[in-house]
């Protein structure tokens, strides 16, 4: 596919579109979609721990040892029970996530050590291997900013991995959004995404719209991801996520991005990335999700029939039938996919045991 290169100036102009320009932008973006299908992955969302060293201004996921409601770690027995239940619901993806470097918080470190693990990455590796050994699900992990060596190890037991860039703006590190979050340093996040590229790990990333970034910074974030994709080609989908105000967060009174802002950002993402999927969380846009299908959106992301979105617990997932209805009503077909896209289903990107698991699933994905 021949890709058009966009300058920062061009992207800012597109993000600043008004009136009829927006309609033309939508038409142009929607013309770039490669097929009439809108995909989703049926998953089970398992937060192995909600402890985190970061304290983002928009987060309700993070817990402290004093506020965690149950165990500070999801133990293997509970994980396996959840995975077995997910199999009965037809889930094929096991989404594992946890806070940034939670082992830096002493109570969790003690628990991990008692179980024989030095850190959460070692524990995650064990859980992913157990998932492959004892269930039919494919692991997809979001472990935060981790080292090249850790990524290399986790590649062996994951069908794909992910890390939101959120923003490439260093300025946001001194704002309410990220001032208490060392792990949101864009250099660290870009380094992790690039290292995943060097290791050829199928990867999900994206940006958050409306956390205080300027249009220029939003454009630069998208361009950084385009630069990495041009170099490594491992990014399989870009998420465009809108900031969602919630009671009790530091940014509770911060204005959410308008529907028009989101429309323009999704359109621009499709134009910049015609070669990969553009995703938007349907549970964060329950009343407006359909409009993004007219902007070139072609993936709803992971949707669970079993577990909530622990990052946005106030926003329930749509039922699969509801998702199908709003998709077909807009003139598109809803198709289930795996956690890894077909073009990455070969030994260059996946370990032998992941490829064997995919073969066992006998799952016919989109070509």
All residues at 6 or more sequence positions from 22 whose CB lies less than 8 Å from its CB, including other chains: 260, 263, 264
Pairing relationship of beta strands 160-162 and 138-142 according to DSSP bridges: parallel
Q: In whole angstroms, what separates CA 182 from the centre of its chain?
A: 20
59 is in an annotated binding site: yes
| Among 342, 307, 253, residue whose Cα is nearest residue 91 | 307
Q: What are phi and psi of 239, to 5 degrees?
A: -95, 130
Write the CA distances from 335 to 40, 41, 324, 365, integer angstroms: 7, 9, 9, 9
Write the CA distances from 16 to 169, 214, 218, 364, integer angstroms: 19, 11, 12, 41
91 is in an annotated binding site: no
| Among 237, 226, 232, 270, residue whose Cα is nearest residue 340 | 237
Task: Copy the structure tokens of residue 137.
Answer: 């699900």
| Among 354, 322, 220, 339, residue whose Cα is nearest residue 279 | 339
d(CA 175, CA 178): 6
d(CA 101, CA 34): 38
Using the Cα atoms of residue 233, residue 234, residue 237 and residue 239 in order, give the sign of their dihedral.
Answer: negative
| Largest pairwise CA distance in the chain | 62
Q: What is the DSSP letter of 51?
A: B
Q: Other CB atoms closer than 10 Å to residue 331's CB: what's the count? A: 10
Binding-site residues from annotation: 52, 56, 59
Residue positions in the annotated binding site for [4Fe-4S] cluster?
52, 56, 59
């Amino acid at each position: 596919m021949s890709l058009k290169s966009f300058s920062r100036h061009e992207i800012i102009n597109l993000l600043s579109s008004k009136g009829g320009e927006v309609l033309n932008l939508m038409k142009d973006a929607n013309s770039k979609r490669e097929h009439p299908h809108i995909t989703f992955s049926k998953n089970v969302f398992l937060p192995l721990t909600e402890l985190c060293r970061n304290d983002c201004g928009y987060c309700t996921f993070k817990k402290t040892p004093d506020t965690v409601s149950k165990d500070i770690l999801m133990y293997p027995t509970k994980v396996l029970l959840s995975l077995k239940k997910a199999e009965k619901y037809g889930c094929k993806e096991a989404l594992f996530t946890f806070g940034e470097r939670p082992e830096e918080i002493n109570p969790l470190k003690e628990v991990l050590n008692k179980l024989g693990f030095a850190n959460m990455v070692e524990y995650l590796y064990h859980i992913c291997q157990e998932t492959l050994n004892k269930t039919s699900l494919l692991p997809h992990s979001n472990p935060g900013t981790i080292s090249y060596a850790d990524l290399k190890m986790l590649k062996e037991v994951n069908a794909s991995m992910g890390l939101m860039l959120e923003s490439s703006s260093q300025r946001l590190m001194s704002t309410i959004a990220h001032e208490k979050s060392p792990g949101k340093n864009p250099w660290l996040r870009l380094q992790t995404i690039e290292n995943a590229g060097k290791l050829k790990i199928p990867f999900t990333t994206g940006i958050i719209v409306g956390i205080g970034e300027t249009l220029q910074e939003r454009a630069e974030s998208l361009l950084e991801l385009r630069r990495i994709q041009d170099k490594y080609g491992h990014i399989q989908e870009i998420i465009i996520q809108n900031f969602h105000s919630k009671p009790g967060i530091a940014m509770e009174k911060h204005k959410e991005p308008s529907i028009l802002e989101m429309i323009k950002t999704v359109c621009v993402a499709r134009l910049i990335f015609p070669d990969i999927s553009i995703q938007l969380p349907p549970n964060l846009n329950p009343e407006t999700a359909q409009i993004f299908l007219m902007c070139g959106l072609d993936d709803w992301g992971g949707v669970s029939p079993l577990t909530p979105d622990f990052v946005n617990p106030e926003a329930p997932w749509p039922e699969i039938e509801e998702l199908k209805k709003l998709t077909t009503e807009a003139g598109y077909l809803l198709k289930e996919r795996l956690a890894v896209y077909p073009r990455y289903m070969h030994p260059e990107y996946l370990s032998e045991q992941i490829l064997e698991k995919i073969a066992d699933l006998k799952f016919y994905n989109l070509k």
